[in-house]
Amino acid sequence: MTAMGAARIATMQQRCAFILLGSVQTTLIFTLAALAVPLPLIGRELDLMRADLILLSVAYGLTFAGLLLFGGRLADRYGGRRALTAGLALFAAASAAAPLAPSIGALLAARFAQGAGAALVAPAAMAVLRAVFPSPPAYSRAMATWGGLSVLGATAGNLLSGVISALLSWRWTFAVPLVVALAALALTPRLLPDTTPSGGRTLDLPGALLATAGITLASYGLVVTDTRPWSSAGVLVPLLGGSALLAAFWYAERRAHDPLLPPGFLVGRRRVLALAAIALSACGTAITFVVLSLHLQQARDWSQLQTSAAFIPFAVALIASGRAVGRLIGRYGARTVTAAGLGTAAAGLTLLALTGTDAHISCGYGLLPGLVLLPAGTAASFAGVAVLATEGVPQQQTGLAGGVLNTAMEFGPTVLFAILLTLDSDAWSLAATGAVLALAALLNHRTK
């Protein structure tokens, strides 16, 4: 075999491995958003109260966000492919159990288990990705594409879950994660390299317990602000308790011999701003799906089908931008692309906010341009941030980097979402998010 033939085979193997890992990552976020649209149908079928629906909507995200740091440590400790296989097995089992759930208790248990599996899969997939692309330039190019997969998964979850639940049943939405997980389990031994674990490292169980409990409690406290005042015990107890546990986690990590999250990992203005940028970008996308869906159906009398169709330009712009952003990062650098993406997303949110304040603004002047600019900017910022957040990370900490990146993506929007939805106007929520994104763009552009 010639050297050119061997290189072509190696490139094809890398491409197949990336498609497999990217499909898994997209499916994890698809599953996060899969119950958003059919949630009212589930409530009627299982006779649920509003509090039950809120808990069901956040169950997957609570364990997903809470266990990500520990999942990253497990991936680094035992090897990415081994952790990926274990996480996929748990994720598949929970996805098979969820559609069979006869009651809210069984469905909640399945969603919690799905989140736990996802928390192991997400950082492990990034650890394996590093082994698939060992050279720094190739890894940076792969991460530029990887960054846009999460928002693509969220978009697919919102679009497809409504169609599936309308044509079949909400229970069939779990077929997507189940099929992808089973296919990934079958293909992993053939397509993915066996990564070398960083032996000798402890698991830091005290740190894992503090981080998981702190993030989960704080997230729950923020989520229930939708139905309870900020001054109520139902909000303050979990919020203050979670904050205290996170403070204890930070103190314990500074004194631990082998900490779960080394304090030095977050040192550096560029990495901190990159994590803040991905949290803001994720928040902009999440709040747009919720606020705009409600506005179109309640203020403009659009049907569910029309509302879903409104997000088709969003999906098209997202895919088109994702294909182009890798070349832009290679030419202009990740920092410049991130700043430009945040600014573009801010402009899109501003247009959507104007659409919300004036029902007479036509789709062509406000809604459609906003639904093109926002995903284009989000795709660019996600891709740039994925490169910046993993830049210079040693291979034995790739799982940790994946855990931190995904935690910012999951926990950050929970905080901002709770704050922004306290505003009296949905349009002001969009406008405020756009203003924060514009500020983040400026800070990222000036960071050296």
Give the separation between CA 288 and CA 443, rounded to whole angstroms.
Answer: 23
In a domain, 436, yes or no: yes
Q: What is the pLDDT of residue 34?
A: 80
Q: Is residue 80 domain-resident?
A: yes
Q: Tell whether 80 and 219 lie within a shared domain.
A: no
Shared domain check, 280 and 368: yes
- Report yes or no: 349 and 367 within 8 Å, Cβ to Cβ: no
Q: Do 359 and 320 lie in a common domain?
A: yes
Query: For 415-429, how does the pLDDT look when each residue is reduced to its tens digit (9 = 90+)?
Result: 666 666 555 445 445
Residue pointed to by tokens 């969220």: 154
Q: In whole angstroms, what is the distance from residue 192 CA to residue 88 CA?
A: 14
Lowest mean pLDDT among 87-96, 180-189, 193-202, 317-326: 193-202
DSSP H helices, 168-204, are 175-191
Exposed/middle/buried for residue 107 (C-beta within 10 Å: 0-12, 13-18, 19+): buried
User: Which residue, 304, 435, 293, 300, is CA-closest to 371?
Assistant: 293
- Compute CA 348 distance to the chain's CA centroid, rounded to the nearest angstrom: 20
Beta carbons within 8 Å of 371's beta carbon, 6+ residues apart: 310, 311, 313, 314, 317, 348, 352
Q: What angle do CA 126, 129, 133 make, to 5 degrees?
A: 145
Pair (298, 254) in one structural domain: no
Question: Do 77 and 46 belong to one domain?
Answer: yes
Q: What's the alpha-carbon Rg for the chain, to the nearest Å?
A: 21
Indicate the number of domains in the chain.
3
Same domain, 433 and 288: yes
Residue 75 is predicted with a pLDDT of: 84
- Compute the distance between CA of residue 275 and CA of residue 407 in angstroms, rounded to an integer: 9
* Residue 4 maps to a domain: no
Q: Choose between 263 and 139: higher pLDDT.
A: 139
Domain that holds residue 230: 205-259
pLDDT classification of 162: cutoffs 50, 70, 90: confident
Q: Round to whole Å and give the CA distance between 282 and 87.
A: 24
Residue 2 lies in a domain: no
Q: Are residues 18 and 64 in the same domain?
A: yes
pLDDT at 360: 45
pLDDT of residue 361: 45
Where does residue 445 rank: exposed (0-12), middle (13-18), buried (19+ CB within 10 A)? Answer: middle
Is residue 82, in this structure, part of any structural domain at all?
Answer: yes
pTM beyond 0.75, yes or no: yes
pLDDT at 166 over 80: no
Q: What's the CATH code of the domain at 187?
A: 1.20.1250.20
| 355: in domain | yes
**Cα 416 → chain centroid:** 14
Query: How confident is the prediction for the chain on average, in pLDDT?
Result: 77
pLDDT digits (tens, 9 = 90+) for 321-355: 877 887 888 788 878 888 888 888 878 877 777 76
Question: Do 372 and 344 belong to one domain?
Answer: yes
Please tell me whether residues 25 and 82 are part of one structural domain: yes
Does residue 159 belong to any structural domain of this protein? no
Statement to judge: residues 378 and 274 lie in one domain: yes
- Please name the residue that has the structure tokens 């996600």: 382
Amino acid at 397: Q
Tens digits of per-residue pLDDT, 46-67? 887 766 777 787 788 878 877 8
Q: How far, in Å, are 7, 277, 367 from residue 384 at the CA level?
A: 28, 10, 26
Q: Is residue 243 a part of any domain in this protein?
A: yes
Q: Are residues 293 and 437 in the same domain?
A: yes
Residue with the bigger pLDDT between 27 and 395: it is: 27
Please identify which residue in the block is written with the tokens 């000036």: 446
Percent of the chain that is helix, strand, coil (3-state, to 5): 85, 0, 15
pLDDT per residue over 188-211, tens digit each? Answer: 988 888 777 665 566 677 877 888
What does the angle CA 322 – CA 325 – CA 331 come to, to the nearest 5 degrees? 165
Three-state DSSP at 69 gives: helix
pLDDT of residue 82 exceeding 50: yes
**One domain, residues 228 and 127:** no
pLDDT bin (cut points 50, 70, 90) of residue 179 is very high
